[in-house]
Amino acid sequence: MKKTAIVTGATSGIGMAICRRFIAAGYRVVATGRNKVALDALSDEFGDDIITLEFDVRDRSEAASALASLPSDWADIDILVNNAGLALGLEPQFEGDFDDWDAMVDTNIKGLLTMTRLVVPAMIERGAGHVVNIGSVAGDAAYANGSVYCATKSAVKAITDGLRIDVAHTPLRVTLLKPGLVETNFSNVRFHGDTDRASNVYKGIEPLTADDIADAALYAVQAPAHVQIAEMLILATHQANGSVIVRK
Ligand code: NDP
Ligand code: 8X3
């Protein structure tokens, strides 16, 4: 029987790449997201190897009902990939937008916690499971104009470390992936659809691709059962940390 992974934010970027990589590697995937068109396209592409669930990770009751709707032979989740997340805005904290802050905190922190709380108890009961959280280099230290996004990713680091402690007496493994610059829809979302501003983020440097991060996720989940990849910081070669990026 194939192992089952659930991936949040599967409708774009890193989440979609993880779905593809995992399916190619012999897993089956529960792909979750808000974009029905993208979810349906994944369903058409992967047939029996995928089930899609449409919900917003900020809505706890929607998330719980969606998970409860899984067919019984898909209910045992082996891997939870908490990927859904976003940055909104890039401005000094004293000019930040309250709605942007709420969306980042509610998605990146509370959405991730909701999914963990809903999925992990059954893993503990079954004595098997792996949680992969997508943090960021942004969680290592604040960078200019990104304080709230950076804070949410610092929270993801603390939450991931805390979960690892809380399940250390079980066979469960907990991994934090911390990518640097990855070219996805991330910057379009951050700049509210300003594509020129978004493309400048990746100018003069070869950024990571979503596939690079999917490779790291696959490596972590395929490690032998006694090996826990606790954390990986994955940067483009000319990026040194959240603030130092050397462009041509
Ligand atoms: P994308 O914008 O391409 O993908 C983000 C995904 O998250 C989309 O599928 C989006 O769905 C989903 N999502 C956002 N909000 C919600 C929500 N409330 N409920 C359900 N799904 C939601 O960006 P990335 O692939 O780059 O981002 C994926 C993760 O990687 C994020 O956590 C991000 O913070 C992190 N990351 C990204 C980096 C980068 O440079 N790109 C670097 C480090 C970390 P929808 O289309 O419906 O909004
Ligand atoms: C995304 C990477 O550096 O744009 O988390 O914040 S960065």
Ligand 1 centroid–CA 33 distance in Å is: 10
Pocket test for ligand 1, best of 184, 205, 234 (most atoms within 8 A of CB): 184
CB 86 within 8 A of CB 11: no
At 37 the pLDDT is 98
**Average predicted confidence (pLDDT) for the chain:** 98
- Chain segment 194-205, per-residue pLDDT in tens: 999 999 999 999
At 193 the pLDDT is 97
At 4 the pLDDT is 98
pLDDT-derived band of residue 180, with 50, 70 and 90 as boundaries? very high
At 190 the pLDDT is 98
- Chain segment 95-114, per-residue pLDDT in tens: 999 999 999 999 999 999 99
At 96 the pLDDT is 98
Pocket test for ligand 1, best of 12, 67, 175 (most atoms within 8 A of CB): 12
Place of tokens 């000019």: 95
Give strand ranges (E) for the chain: 4-7, 28-33, 50-54, 79-82, 130-134, 173-179, 231-234
Residues 6+ apart with CB under 8 A from 143: 150, 242, 243
The response to whether residue 170 sits with its C-beta less than 6 Å from ligand 1 reads no
Judged by DSSP in three states, 182 sits in: strand
User: Any catalytic annotation for residue 202?
Assistant: no
The response to whether residue 136 sits with its C-beta less than 6 Å from ligand 2 reads yes
How many other β-carbons are positioned within 10 Å of the β-carbon of residue 99? 10
At 79, give phi and psi (nearest 5°).
Answer: -135, 130
At 187, give phi and psi (nearest 5°).
Answer: -75, -30
- Chain segment 215-239, per-residue pLDDT in tens: 999 999 999 999 999 999 999 999 9
0.95 exceeded by pTM: yes
How many other β-carbons are positioned within 10 Å of the β-carbon of residue 65? 12
What whole-number distance in Å separates Cα of residue 17 and Cα of residue 26?
14
- Chain segment 18-42, per-residue pLDDT in tens: 999 999 999 999 999 999 999 999 9
